[in-house]
Every structure is written in structure tokens, then in C-alpha cells.
Structure 1
């Protein structure tokens, strides 16, 4: 747990680094531009399709009629747009995570390594192409699980638990791989992820719940749906910051764990290699002493003998 907390506060401090702040601008601009482009072309058709789909269900119609009776009929006009925003949220989250992983994570891992682990050997066990395929495969798997569990979102407690858990698992998969891709070998990466699986999952789930914070914005969107053009960029900005923090958190944790693992596995020099033996020391002393001439008695160096008057 000590390594988790140490990496946590270091990641928070690094989020204030000018280089990290500058790197966060690119995914934010790309996601906002993509969101507005998709909204421009597909927002009204999507809202109309959802509204028509809702009218085909008697239960939903009864619910909307009940809202009219209790004086909350205004909610009928924002129900379909709000549902479109809720359904679009997972796509926004996944795309933001991928953009952070591709555009920010390699630079932030390099920053952490440069400032804290400059002596750590780079074994390059994962290439950029492998990282991209790993991230895409994990994202597709998370999307499948997300779609399959969407009917459970109708149960109030599960809608607050399932999406953050799925996002947390995806965060753990993507950022754990990227943090070790440059410095660890394939065997080291596999061993570290297996050894630290539990704390890494905890870190991912906590990040998933942090990433669920923009969902509170949609709660206000039910009353202020006209503010969606402002709320969506704000949500994307929060997602970008959360995933940038998660990337730094995983980088600090895993590079420190890699350094400790290599230090523990380093061979220990035997004592005979570290210090010369007494016999070798005496032999060295004999080598430097002057050798006596033939027929004379050898003398050891020392103070001059007293002379007789």
C-alpha cells in the first residue's frame, strides 16, 4: 500500500507540471472537435429516433403521462436528449482514454523516467504498434461488456457501479501495459502485472470512479439541456485530466516496482571477489620488497640501526 500512496501523490504533483498541462491540450481539442462534428450531423436524428423508440413502449408512455400529472411534464421534452447523452457517454470515455494513451502516455512515462529513473535500463519489451493493438483490443472487449450490461443500468445501484468498474478495468489494462512498454522486457512486464494485479486493479477502479464524476453534469443536463454544448467540453476536459492522472499514477508505481524487482534480482558479489585474501595481500607485499643480492642476508625495511661511535 505504501507504493500506491507514494505513486498517488507523485502523480498529483506531476499533473501540475507545465509539460503535462501542455500535453493535455491535444486530446481535449481533438475530442471536443469530434463531439461537435458528430453532434452537428447526428444530434437531431438521434434524438428523434430515441423519442420514436420510447413512444413504442407502453411502460415509458405511462411514466411520461405520470410526469404530466404530477406537474413535471417539462421533463418529457428533455428525456430523449438526456438519454442520448447517457448512451453517448461510454463512447466519449473510451475515445478520450485512447487519445490520452496514444498522445500523452508515452511522453509522460518518459518524463517520469527522466526525473526519477534515469538509470533504469530500457529493454523495450513493447512497441508502439503493440501498444495500439493492446489498447484497441481491450477497448473493444470493454465495449462489449458495457453493451451487455446496459439493461442492468435500469437498477439504480448498478448504474453507479457497473460503468466505473468497466472503465477501471480498461484503465488498468491500457496504462499498465503502456507504463512498462519501453523499460521492461516482455517477461518482466508479464511478471510485474501478475504480481501486482490486485493493487493495479484497485488503482484502475478508483480511477474509474473518478471518471464517473462527469455523470453529475448530466444530472444538471436534465434541467439545463440547452447547456449541453458547454457541458460536453467540460466533461471531456475532466475525463482528460482523470486519465492523464491515471497514466502518471501507473507510470510511477510500475517503474518503481520494476526498479525494485531488478535490484532484488541483481547478483551479489562474493566476498572473495570484493576483497583480497590475506595470502594475496602478503604476496603483494613480498612483490614490492627489494630482493637481496646473492650471498647477502635479506633485511626488512625499518628504522636505521644505531651506529657505533
Structure 2
């Protein structure tokens, strides 16, 4: 776990560099704008889905009898917000993984790992495919485990799902420019528990107010540091 915390601390340090600040801001802005437009455009559809979900767990019927009505409307608004915020964060994670990683990798690699040769084992197609798989399994985790909320075990679902999404999204992109395909697979296999640990640690930041605004880029930086450090060790075991 020492390597996990080291990568996390280095990523946190890099957050406050001037050239990183814009990368921190624009994925969140883009994701917020995207879901704001979709929310306004498809308001009735989303509201219908939320009402169906509340009906399924027995809350909608209770809301219809709540007086004064503004309390019921307030609860419904909170339900919309609870759906909106995770969608923004997940979208910002994907935007960061697909469009901001190159700049972050260049910043970290040029300063901390200048000796690493670029083998370009990944690419845009691989990154897109990896993101689609990550999102598909992330959604499946939520769908399959929904019944657990009824017995109180659902509290662990957000953390497990976020840990999976973070490690699946960022492990590939962090190594895609420097590692060969064989090196990438070797690191993924040898350090699977650490990758999950880093996914969970960076995922926890998403549940902390204010710090969650930095969560996508912090996750990216932490995985870049972890991945490139493990690649350097793989190529030169003497530096471990």
C-alpha cells in the first residue's frame, strides 16, 4: 500500500501546479454543461424515470400525500440532484481519461520519468474501447446490486463501483504512451490489488465536498504516477 499512497500524494502535489489548474476545471465544466442541456431537453423523461424509481421503493405514493406540497416538490428536487451530481462526476472522469491524459502524462513524464522510452502500446481506439467497457460494467454493477439497497448493504455499492471505474479507466491511459502492450498487461496482472486500492482511494475523494471538484484530475495524476513508476521498475528492477 505504500506505493499506492505515494502515487496518491504525488498526484495531490501536482494538482496545484499552474498548468494543471485549467485541466482541473474544464472537464467538470464540460460535464456539467452537457448534463444541464440534456436535463433541460429531456426533463419529462428523466422525471418519469425518477418517479418510477421512487414508486418502486414506495416513496412516490407517500409523497403524493405529503402536505404542504412544497415539501414533496423539494424532496423530488433533491432526487433529481442526487442523480445529476454522480452523472456529472462520471462524465468528467471519462472526459479526463479520453481528452486530458496526454497533457497530464507529458507533465509528469518529462519531470519525473524522463528516462522512460515511449513504446505506444495503446491508442485512441483502445482508450475509447476501454472507456466503453468501464462504463458498461460500472452501470451493470449498479443495476445488478440495486436489490442490496433494500437490505441496507447498498451503502458499499458507490465505493466498489467507483473503485472499479477509476482503476479501469485510468490504468490503461496512464501507460498507453510509454508501455508496450505486453508491459501493460504485465503491470495490470502483477499490481491488480494496488490498482483497486488506488481506485478506491481516489474514489473516496469524490464523496468529499469541494475536494470532489478535483477528483477526476487527481485520479488521473495518481494513476499516471503509479503506472509510470511500475513501468520504470519493470524495465530496470534495480531501482525498486
TM-score (norm 1): 0.69
Q: Find the aligned partners of 1:144 and 1:21 in 2 and give their Cα distance.
A: 33
Change (3 A) 1:239 1:57: closer
- Equivalent residue number for residue 25 of structure 2: 25
> Is it true that 1:169 corresponds to 2:164 in the alignment?
yes
CA displacement at 1:157 relative to structure 2: 4.8
CA displacement at 1:49 relative to structure 2: 6.2
Contact 1:47 1:81 in 2 (8 A): no
CA displacement at 1:203 relative to structure 2: 0.9
Secondary structure of the residue aligned to 2:165 is helix
Contact 1:100 1:240 in 2 (8 A): no
- Equivalent residue number for residue 248 of structure 1: 221
> Is it true that 1:8 corresponds to 2:8 in the alignment?
yes
- Equivalent residue number for residue 135 of structure 2: 139
Match of 1:87 among 73, 79, 83: 83
What are the equivalent positions in structure 2 for 1:185-204 lying under 5 Å apart? 185-204=180-199
Secondary structure of the residue aligned to 1:24 is helix
What are the equivalent positions in structure 2 for 1:184-263 lying under 5 Å apart? 184-213=179-208, 239-263=212-236
Secondary structure of the residue aligned to 1:104 is helix
Which structure has the highest helix share of the two?
2
Change (3 A) 1:67 1:103: same
Change (3 A) 1:190 1:42: same
Q: Find the aligned partners of 1:87 and 1:17 in 2 and give their Cα distance.
A: 32
TM-score (norm 2): 0.86
Contact 1:166 1:208 in 2 (8 A): no
CA displacement at 1:45 relative to structure 2: 5.2
CA displacement at 1:116 relative to structure 2: 0.7
Contact 1:167 1:208 in 2 (8 A): yes
What are the equivalent positions in structure 2 for 1:100-139 lying under 5 Å apart? 100-139=96-135
CA displacement at 1:90 relative to structure 2: 3.9
Calculate the aligned-residue CA RMSD, in Å.
2.8
Q: Find the aligned partners of 1:263 and 1:49 in 2 and give their Cα distance.
A: 53
CA displacement at 1:201 relative to structure 2: 0.4
Contact 1:125 1:181 in 2 (8 A): yes
Secondary structure of the residue aligned to 2:42 is helix
Contact 2:23 2:100 in 1 (8 A): yes
Secondary structure of the residue aligned to 1:161 is helix
Q: Find the aligned partners of 2:85 and 2:147 in 1 and give their Cα distance.
A: 16
Q: Which has the higher contact order (CA 8 A, sep 6+)?
A: 2
Change (3 A) 1:263 1:201: same
Change (3 A) 1:183 1:58: closer
| Gaps in structure 2 of 5+ consecutive residues | none
Change (3 A) 1:137 1:65: closer
Change (3 A) 1:121 1:202: same
Contact 1:124 1:182 in 2 (8 A): yes
| Gaps in structure 1 of 5+ consecutive residues | 215-233, 267-309
- Count matched residues: 239
Q: Find the aligned partners of 1:23 and 1:181 in 2 and give their Cα distance.
A: 19
